[in-house]
Structure 1
Amino acid sequence: MPLPPWSQRLKNAATVFLLQKCLIWPVETIQSIRVDVLGFGPAETKPDLIKTFPGRKGLPVRIFIPSSVKSQAAGSQPEEVKVPLTFTIHGGGFVIGSPADNDAWNRRFSDKHSHLVIALNYRKGPDSPFPNPVDDLEALALAGLSAPASELGLPSHVKVDLSRISVIGWSAGGNLSLALSHRLSTSPSTSAKLSELGATISSVVPIYPVVDFTIPTEAKLKLRQYKPLLGGFRGKPTDFLAGMAPIFDWAYIPANENLTKPELSPYFAEKDTLPKNLFMVACELDMLGHEAWRFANKFAGRTIPGLEERIGREEIGDWGKAVVEGDERFGWEVTDDGENRRVKWLLVPDTVHGFDQDLTVMVGGDKEVLEDAKLKTEELIGVIGGWLEEGWRK
């Protein structure tokens, strides 16, 4: 990425400073004190444990223990069980955000599918640009895998099943879920540690990720659907990421960095450096949707869509439905039994980037967006958990 003029760099730095220090930091600090220290907020979304690991003391992780495990622990003689482990990685353009952003999603997923969920953390740009966040995630993932079950808050009768490990990430975190998976498989020392532990990262689920930094923002904006007939927030003629995307890119990517590095642009990773089970989720009304579509097709060995082919369709889909049946633009799955590999694609119709998170502040009083997103989020959580379980049964 070329170095922008000094005036643009100054403008970018000022924007990021205001965003991080004057807007996000005060809100996150107040929320952390309110929820994590004073105990306010809905109990059904809180983590069971907030933990730090040596070497990354400033990056606490949030741990969610499935309700099924906790109810068993209340019995007189619970049987020994093993639970799958899912790491999640929050988004925020590599510049903002925290693991707490996904508390509601993580709690719902953990309870619905009986997974131990560890929400990882990482330092943000521009103070910690690429590849520092990947380094942080690698260190925290290894620490979590190496920790005794008791240190993760699990009851004595529960162990972590190290053969059933998945990584889920949103937006920038979706990019980092792929980068982390790549690092864990290609770093000799890390691979050796995983082998020593008997741990296997079997699945990765990037949700509306950025996967290709070689495509300019202007080109990406032309490749998504715009649906004015939807009205409200979803019917706008612009993408809400458009203004901030170049600033986030500047904050994360060092000047003159090779944009085709697999841990930066995972589109350029080799197939055998990523988990054998890959589930790509994208949004139809999102400038990042097309590159996710290209990524999924590439890794499935299908024809890669051209940069002149717009994603999705003009028609409005069914209310509250995340899965469109019988239309390969919106979903398919390819299984290679010879390599024991699966690639699944899901394009969620009529949704904007971040639909499965709390969009209340962004969309204001647009209740239609929020209700539609709530239904689709619940369906998506079910589909992801079921897909993971199906892969482990094979």
Structure 2
Amino acid sequence: MSMDPEIAALLKQFGIGGPPPATPPTVAEMRAGNRMLSLAVAPDPPIEVGAVEDDRVAGVPARVYRPEGEGPVPTVVFFHGGGFVVGDLDTHDGICRRLCRDVGAVVVAVGYRLAPEFPFPAGFDDCVAVTSHVGDHIADFGGGVLAVAGDSAGGNLAAGVALAFRDEGRPLAAQLLAYPATDLSGKGGHRSRTENATGYLLTTAEVEMVTGLYLAEAAPETADRPPASPLLASDHTGLAPAVIACGDLDPLRDEGLAYADALADAGVPVEKRLYPGLVHGFMSFTDKSSAADAAVTEMFTEFGELMRA
């Protein structure tokens, strides 16, 4: 499978995808590089929505996007990717603006605490706190149903929140998981971790490094169960309907697809999507790649349909 040519050209332009550096980057370098690339590929000019406001929700930094128009609409709590270590409200601003516009939902983007300064479960606890607050005060947001969404590490967090809400009997209309990390145990033997280990933006070595930073202070068995590893939950019944989408050239591909299969086997309605030629992080490349743009259009359409079912 060859990489989407527009993404391949983009990665070449930024000097990404060659041999890994002899010395791993520092956390500060990782954050700076992620921010640089994310802002460089963001839609320009920014996608227009009804309103955007920075706030704190349940004490956690957040950015609230509101669509044009009046009346009740869904509310989506969104968790950004970045391996639990990098990423912020700015790096995913373009994704959240498009989600708000295309789905017609209020989007609450969560600036959860990052490792290694704040290892597991700090970030997850922030995500649960914000989603719970939004659910308890839904009239202050969209006024309609509540859903969660996230990409990569954010997909892991969204899946974990969905499991927590199921266990607490709290309503959740849908979940959108884009190339989610669902198995942090390191024991899954997922073929894509080997097939796509290097050359496609995210490397397996980077996955292992950030997982170690995230789980550094947790008990060893933490990685073998949710919320760290949603795939390893003993029971997936009763979860919110899901859209789960992965790029074919992603080291996280197989654990994302396995999570879709686990939900389907448990009777959860799932839209499972695998996009040829796309790499990890493709949601950020919609302004540069027609294939990524088409994938996100499909994902957001199906997610919106779940919330309005």
TM-score, structure 2 normalization: 0.78
Which residue number corresponds to residue 60 of structure 1?
A: 61
Which one-letter code corresponds to 2:186 in the other structure? I
Which one-letter code corresponds to 2:176 in the other structure? V
Instruction: Give the C-alpha shift of residue 100 in structure 1.
Output: 2.7
Structure 1, residues 16-65: CA drift from partner, whole Å, max 9, x if none? 24334x6567x69xx8xxxxxxxx963626952111135x2xx3211111
Distance 1:114 1:64 in 2: 10
Matched position secondary structure for 1:60: strand
Which one-letter code corresponds to 1:129 in the other structure? P
The two structures, once aligned, show a CA RMSD in angstroms of 3.2
Which residue number corresponds to residue 165 of structure 1?
A: 146
8 Å contact 1:68–1:111 — kept in the other structure?
no
Instruction: Give the C-alpha shift of residue 359 in structure 1.
Output: 8.0
Sequence identity (%): 23
Distance 1:386 1:249, change over 3 A: same
- 1:371 corresponds, among 283, 286, 290, to 290
Which one-letter code corresponds to 1:68 in the other structure? G
8 Å contact 1:203–1:277 — kept in the other structure?
yes
Which residue number corresponds to residue 280 of structure 2?
A: 353
8 Å contact 1:95–1:126 — kept in the other structure?
yes
Q: 4+ residue stretches of structure 1 with deviation over 6 A?
A: none
Runs (5+) with no aligned partner, structure 2? 1-22
| Aligned positions, number | 280
Matched position secondary structure for 1:48: strand
Distance 2:277 2:172 in 1: 32
TM-score, structure 1 normalization: 0.62
Distance 2:264 2:138 in 1: 37
Which residue number corresponds to residue 74 of structure 1?
A: none
8 Å contact 1:178–1:274 — kept in the other structure?
no
- 1:207 corresponds, among 164, 178, 182, to 178
Distance 1:274 1:127 in 2: 34
Residue 281 of structure 1 pairs with residue 262 of structure 2 = no
Runs (5+) with no aligned partner, structure 1? 1-10, 32-39, 70-80, 153-158, 195-199, 227-235, 303-335, 361-366
- 1:19 corresponds, among 30, 33, 40, to 30
Which residue number corresponds to residue 231 of structure 2?
A: 267
Distance 1:342 1:383 in 2: 12
Distance 2:135 2:48 in 1: 26
Residue 49 of structure 1 pairs with residue 49 of structure 2 = no
Instruction: Give the C-alpha shift of residue 111 in structure 1.
Output: 2.2
Distance 2:175 2:143 in 1: 18
Which one-letter code corresponds to 2:81 in the other structure? G
Distance 1:279 1:288 in 2: 16
8 Å contact 1:205–1:280 — kept in the other structure?
yes
Matched position secondary structure for 2:132: helix
Which residue number corresponds to residue 182 of structure 1?
A: 163
Distance 2:119 2:96 in 1: 26
